Amino acid sequence: MERKNSPASASPSQVIEVNIDIDPDADPPTIPPITNPSPTGDSKACRGGTCDLSYTKDSHERFASMRKLIIAVVLCIIFMTVEVIGGIKANSLAILTDAAHLLSDVAAFMISLFSLWAAGWEATPRQSYGFFRIEILGALVSIQMIWLLAGILVYEAIVRLIHDNGEVKGFLMFAVSAFGLVVNIVMAVLLGHDHGHSHSHGHGHEHGHGHGHSHEHGHGHSHEHGHGHDHSDEHGHAHGHEHEHDHDHDANTMTTYFHHDHHHNKDVKEQLIKKEKKKSKRNVNVHSAYLHVLGDSIQSIGVMIGGAIIWYKPEWKIIDLICTLIFSVIVLFTTIKMLRNILEVLMESTPREIDATQLEKGLCTMDGVVAVHELHIWAITVGKVLLACHVTIAPDADADVILDQVIGYIKRDFNISHVTIQIERQ
């Protein structure tokens, strides 16, 4: 699959090479070319098949998310048809409006489903990084829709205010929005549920998690737990990563990293316990659909309160508007964190969980390395990080050995799988 990007060598047999080559980083550069007839050069650039940009390893997790979303869509459509029929029968605009909101929910789910499905497409020469970005763009579109809907609801509240002639029946509003709230809560539970299951499978995976995370903690990264949720999710997907970590630590001979091992053994237990408690680990698409549903339920609560007030005291219409405004603002706040994530990925900024200064310092302290510059770390989607940099080495150093060391260090300590290092001599 990788070979699509190198038209110079297009033999399909090379696909096999990538899977075999899981050398630990004590990889002697003195392997004579004859024993490896086809260049396994990719061993440096991508180890153990995790360089696969087609997401086939995480397809298991992906299908689980897709299944959940499909169930949610079907439920939504059922409820929507019920509401439409009821609204036409009762000739009530309020019920039809709520059905329209459910329709927007369906649209958001469709976007998420499409993004999930599209992320599994194979990388092409034109789209050399795979289709993961579609997730991010889909989430952006979803969030824009949430904002749009909040605006529409505020507008509707104003319309209700203007039409002072008592057309609005408070009771009907209350009942309809209560029904909508129940539907939304059901879907929120469905979307937020059972991620715990997929992570409790196989303790080996959890160890991998522990390693992945205690790296970050060991280095004293800022503990943004919100982010930690998302990222531990992504680490869990590529099961190949975990095995790799184990291998690397077993073959570890560099003393500078030895104490990290002890660190890990101590921290793994704590990480495991912490992980069972954390419940919000989600794929970015499922998360945005969840946000959509959450926003809707918050709005429903607001409309319910407004309806109750109008029902109880029809002259306090202004409170309805104020209520809607407040709840819309609350909904907008829930989307801000996700929006920030999306923005950072789209701006190709250094992901929050990677400490770039630490990385540079670590690289510069290696022997042979004189300077590091043009360091770019960016994410293709939340959780998949790439790195490119230029390393200047002393004129007499062995470029190959240093390349191995650098790549090994980056992969081990920062869990960045796609690394491109340009070595220059001074």
Would you count residue 301 as binding another protein (CB under 8 A)? no
Would you count residue 360 as binding another protein (CB under 8 A)? yes
DSSP per position, 81-100: HHHHHHHHHHT-HHHHHHHH
Q: Which of residues 11-50 bind another protein (CB under 8 A)?
A: 29, 31, 33, 36, 39-42, 44-46
Given 82, 322, 325, 370, the residue binding another protein (CB under 8 A):
370
Q: Are 308 and 170 in contact (CB under 8 A)?
A: yes
- HSE-CB for 361 with a 13 A CA cutoff: 5
Q: Which of residues 329-358 bind another protein (CB under 8 A)?
A: 343-344, 346-350, 356-357
Q: Which long-range contacts (CB under 8 A, 24 or more apart) does 393-396 make?
A: 393/368, 393/369, 393/423, 393/424, 393/425, 393/426, 394/368, 394/369, 394/370, 394/425, 394/426, 395/425, 395/426
Q: What is the CA radius of gyration of the chain?
A: 26
The binding track of 155-184 with respect to another protein, each residue x by CB under 8 A or -, is x--xx--xxx--------------------
Q: Which of residues 67-126 bind another protein (CB under 8 A)?
A: 125-126
Closest CB to another protein among residues 122, 360 = 360
Given 201, 259, 269, 361, the residue binding another protein (CB under 8 A):
361
Instruction: Note the Cα 26 to chain centre separation in Å.
Output: 33
Closest CB to another protein among residues 210, 351 = 351
Q: How far apart are CA 419 and CA 45, in angstroms?
A: 6
Closest CB to another protein among residues 126, 225 = 126
Q: How far apart are CA 100 and CA 309, in angstroms?
A: 23
Q: How far apart are CA 157 and CA 14, in angstroms?
A: 63
Would you count residue 305 as binding another protein (CB under 8 A)? no
Expressed in angstroms, the distance from the first to the final Cα of the chain is 37
Report which of 372, 349, 341 is spatially closest to residue 135, judged by C-alpha positions. 341
Q: How far apart are CA 122 and CA 130, in angstroms?
A: 6
CB of 155 to another protein, least distance (A): 5
CB of 141 to another protein, least distance (A): 7
Would you count residue 375 as binding another protein (CB under 8 A)? yes
Would you count residue 261 as binding another protein (CB under 8 A)? no
Stretch that binds another protein, among 64-72, 154-162, 275-283, 294-302 (CB under 8 A): 154-162
Stretch that binds another protein, among 176-184, 237-245, 286-294, 392-400 (CB under 8 A): 392-400
Stretch that binds another protein, among 207-215, 244-252, 260-268, 384-392 (CB under 8 A): 384-392
The binding track of 121-150 with respect to another protein, each residue x by CB under 8 A or -, is ----xxxxx-x-xx-xx--xx--x---x--
Closest CB to another protein among residues 134, 286 = 134
Given 308, 377, 410, 416, the residue binding another protein (CB under 8 A):
377
The dihedral region occupied by 91, where left means phi > 0, alpha psi between -120 and 50, and beta the remainder, is: left
CB of 126 to another protein, least distance (A): 5
Q: Phi and psi (nearest 5°) for 161?
A: -65, -40
Closest CB to another protein among residues 256, 280 = 256
Q: Phi and psi (nearest 5°) for 381?
A: -155, 175
Report which of 188, 171, 167, 180 is spatially closest to residue 97, judged by C-alpha positions. 180
Closest CB to another protein among residues 159, 336 = 159
CB of 206 to another protein, least distance (A): 31
- Pairing mode, strands 418-425 and 384-393: parallel
Would you count residue 202 as binding another protein (CB under 8 A)? no
